[in-house]
Every structure is written in structure tokens, then in C-alpha cells.
Structure 1
Amino acid sequence: MKTSITKLYSREIDRLTSEIEQYQNEASLWIVTENISNCAGNLCLHLIGNLNHFIGRHMGNTDYVRQREAEFNTKDVPKATLLAEITNVKEIVITALTNFSEEKLQEKYPIEKDGEIPSYELMLLHLLWHLSYHTGQINYHRRLLGN
């Protein structure tokens, strides 16, 4: 299971990279319209923070301190910076997953989610879905803007 999860995270983080790379106009990353409340740039920052916090810190033992509000309030981060942060978080995630034991996947994750304490395996699947969902929103945002 661990090998499959690791491959899926690598694939989905690469998709996030590809979506951000495809923005021709860097300013488009930060456009919010009347029907879209979160722009691609903020969704990207949110995913970076989410992965750093839930996998990097709680599985990879990094010292990351999440600033969730900043993920949605920060604007105009250069595209190159976003891409560098995605590359960094991918390395953190893959390292954490590679070093995590298969047996530990069934143990309780240290944070409550939706009123219960999930297993590491369930939390990883939830986080993978979250990554894929927001990457899809970024794809839609990019195409909606005609980029």
C-alpha cells in the first residue's frame, strides 16, 4: 500500500506542477471572479501548506509551522517561487512516505479529522483526494481564464 500511495502522491504533485507551469500570464494565477472565490495561486499555497503540515510535520518530523490564513491571504507570489515550493514539498512528502513503515499505516494519526482519529492510511488517502480535488480546481481556473 505504501508504494502505491507514494506513487500517487508523486503523480498528483507533478500534476500540480504542470498546472502552475501552464499559466502563461503570471498575474492570472491570482485572478478571482464573481463565481470563483479562490484563485490558483492561493489554492497552490494551500496545498503546499497542507502537505507540509499533515505529512511533512506529522509524518516526516519536520519543524514546519502552518499559517493557514496566509495560504489564502497572500497574493502575487511569483510563479517561480510557487514552483520551487512545490518541488520542495514533493521532496518532503516522498521522503516522509518512503521512511514511514508499512505497519504504521494502521496506527492512529495524531490529529482528529471530522470528529474521529483516523489511521495514517485513511488520512493519507484523504489528503491525496484533497490534493487531487484542488489541483482539478486549478485546472478549471486556468482553462476558464482562457490560458
Structure 2
Amino acid sequence: MIINTLKTIFKRDLNQLKTEIDLYQNESKIWQVENGISNSAGNLCLHLIGNLNTYIGTVFGKTDYIRNRSLEFSLRNIPKSELLQKIDATLLVVEEALNAIKEDDLKMDYPMLVFENKTTTEFMLIHLTTHLAYHLGQINYHRRLLNE
């Protein structure tokens, strides 16, 4: 039951991420930082893509994704179209990986140590939805603040 809920939330929020990125009228604004904003929408988008491909894609989808977290925050000026393609690819990876998880797996330890202490798979997946929503809100605010 919760897996279907998680799939719905990830799909909704990744589609909203696409919408937010697509709403930038001037592509250069996606990468702009100012007024105490420390991360651009583009870098937050790359961070979310890296995060989900790592903690869902590689762990449950058995993809060969290799994360370079520092590049998520240092790359610049990737075209909007490429960001949108990366979000679409991430959405597919997340959906397929979540299809591989059984309800009983949720109570098991998450296979990677991410925080100071072990967590359940259920905790980690819920954490990932809130992490996505948190940065999605930042991107929305960034867009409304800087978009022409």
C-alpha cells in the first residue's frame, strides 16, 4: 500500500520539478544565484537527480549510476532541455525501482548507511520524498524570485 503512495508522490513531484524548470523564461536564470541564495535551481535539480538515482536507482533498480555529488553543485549552464530529459529518465528509474520493492522490504534495514544510524527502507524512502519536496519548494521560490 505505501509503495503505491510513494510512487504517486515521486511521480507528482518529479513532474512538478519538470514544470518548475520549464517555467524559466530565460534559461540563464536557472543557474543564477544572488541575494543570499546559495544554490541555483539548476544545481538543486541536478542534486535531486543524483540523490534519487543513487538512493533508489542503484540500490533497488540495480542501475550502474555513479554519483558525483560535488558536480551537482558546481556544474553550470546545462541546457534546460537536458535537465528535463534527466528528470524524465530519473522518473522512469524511480518507478521501475519502486516496482521491485515488496511491502515486506519496507521493514528491512535500508542497504546503505546514509545517516549516523541504520534506518529502515520505509524511513529512507519517506525521507527521499520529503527531501525532494523541500528542494522543489526552493526551486519554486527561486523561479518566482528571479524569473522575468
Q: Structure 1-normalised TM-score?
A: 0.97
Counterpart mapping for 1:1-147 below 5 A? 1-147=2-148
Alpha-carbon distance between aligned partners in 1 of 2:35 and 2:3, rounded to the nearest angstrom: 41
By how many angstroms is 1:128 displaced?
0.5
Q: Secondary structure at the match of 2:105?
A: helix
Alpha-carbon distance between aligned partners in 1 of 2:128 and 2:147, rounded to the nearest angstrom: 29
By how many angstroms is 1:59 displaced?
1.2
Alpha-carbon distance between aligned partners in 1 of 2:62 and 2:139, rounded to the nearest angstrom: 29
Alpha-carbon distance between aligned partners in 2 of 1:100 and 1:91, rounded to the nearest angstrom: 15
By how many angstroms is 1:129 displaced?
0.3
Alpha-carbon distance between aligned partners in 1 of 2:146 and 2:116, rounded to the nearest angstrom: 38
Q: Secondary structure at the match of 1:97?
A: helix
Q: Structure 2 counterpart of 1:120, which letter?
A: T
By how many angstroms is 1:14 displaced?
0.7
Alpha-carbon distance between aligned partners in 1 of 2:68 and 2:114, rounded to the nearest angstrom: 18
Q: Secondary structure at the match of 2:37?
A: coil
Count of matched residue positions in the alignment of Structure 1 and Structure 2: 147
By how many angstroms is 1:111 displaced?
1.7
Q: Secondary structure at the match of 1:77?
A: coil
Q: Structure 2-normalised TM-score?
A: 0.96
By how many angstroms is 1:113 displaced?
3.1
- Between stretches 95-104 and 71-80, larger displacement belongs to 95-104
Q: Secondary structure at the match of 1:9?
A: helix
* Structure 2, gaps ≥5 residues long: none
Alpha-carbon distance between aligned partners in 2 of 1:53 and 1:113, rounded to the nearest angstrom: 11
Q: Which runs of 4+ in 1 moved over 2 A?
A: none
Root mean square deviation of aligned Cα = 0.9
* Structure 1, gaps ≥5 residues long: none
